[in-house]
Amino acid sequence: MTKRAQKKPTSPISKNNSQSSQSLQTTQINGSLKNSTTIALEQYFKMLNGHTPCNLYKLVIEEVELPLMKAVMDYTKQNQTQAAAILGINRSTLRKKLKAFDLIQ
């Protein structure tokens, strides 16, 4: 008799961690977010024609934060507890940001 290797069932948590890890590796290899940001900033500086930018940090954060919030809320089907956990922020902080972007009332 030969013994068969039994495959352990994959839990949703380990599956999600595996997918997150794979996604992170893909981003690190392709540098998609990093490259997109670099390209956008290079274009922004070209448009300035030598003028000094003002409040650049705030501008970049605001430009990135809204689509991030929308994407995570869509992914969690509007579940704020899950969205806060995914983002690594407190649920009350998430609610404050969602209100600031008029994504909730």
Taking the domains of the chain in order of start, what are their residue ranges?
A: 29-100
DSSP string over 47-76? HTTTPPPSSHHHHHHHHHHHHHHHHHHHHT
Instruction: Write down the pLDDT at residue 9.
Output: 39
Q: Which fold does the domain 29-100 belong to in CATH?
A: Arc Repressor Mutant, subunit A (1.10.10)
Per-residue pLDDT of the chain (105 residues; tens, 9 = 90+): 444 444 433 434 444 445 445 555 555 556 788 898 899 899 999 999 989 999 999 999 989 999 999 999 999 999 999 999 999 999 999 999 999 999 998
Residue 58: its pLDDT value, please? 93
Tokens, residue 77? 């089907």
Q: Which two tokens mark 15?
A: 């599956």
